[in-house]
Structure 1
Amino acid sequence: MSIFIIINYLFQFYSIALIVYILMSWIPAAYNSAVGRFLAKICDPYLDFFRRFIPPIGMIDISPIAALLVLNLVQKGVFYLLIYII
């Protein structure tokens, strides 16, 4: 399997994990499930970095949007670096 495919799957998995974790905020009891605790362990450290710098607007936290955009940019940057290295 190509290194590009593996890295792409990892970025896609993390993006989906972030989206599921964000959507779980609509169901308060979902964070107490096994899936919720697992997603909290892998998503909160990344999202907390953005929450530190982007305050909520009213009751809406827009930091996950910025986190997903940055993740997408990092993915593209990694691919460009790999293209030039390989």
Structure 2
Amino acid sequence: MLTILGLLNLLLRALEFIIVIWVLMSWLPGAQQSSLGQLLGRISGLILNPLRRFIPVIGIIDLTPLVGLILLQAAEMGLQAIARTMI
């Protein structure tokens, strides 16, 4: 059971990393339109697109990645708490 929680924790960290890289790519012209950028956009969209229904864009600032990272961190902390109770 701890292995499954460890794998889920690893998956959450990978999603966080993907979102951060995708956001940083938005600062570089054309980076998000590259094949790597499109792949990262599809993967991060799994988390960010549902959030975009509830979080409006403020001017040109999209706060959805920040909220997504906070939610992933909360899920990670929850998994760690569950893992601690199982030991």
User: Cα distance 1:6–1:45, how it changes in 2: closer, same or farther (>3 A)?
Assistant: closer
- What residue number does 1:43 align with? 44
TM-score (norm 1): 0.81
Measured after TM superposition, the shift of residue 5 of structure 1 is 5.1
- What residue number does 2:82 align with? 81
Given that residues 9 and 79 in structure 2 are in contact (C-alpha distance below 8 angstroms), is that contact kept between their aligned partners in structure 1?
no
After superposition, give the CA deviation of every residue in 1:30-66 in whole Å (9 maximum; x if it has no partner): 1222211210121012101111111011111111111
- What residue number does 2:58 align with? 57
Which stretch of the first structure deviates more once superposed, 64-73 or 37-46? Answer: 37-46
Q: Which amino acid is 2:54 matched to?
A: F
- What residue number does 1:15 align with? 16
TM-score (norm 2): 0.81
Q: Which has the higher helix share?
A: 1
RMSD: 1.9
- What residue number does 1:31 align with? 32
- The total of aligned residue pairs comes to 85
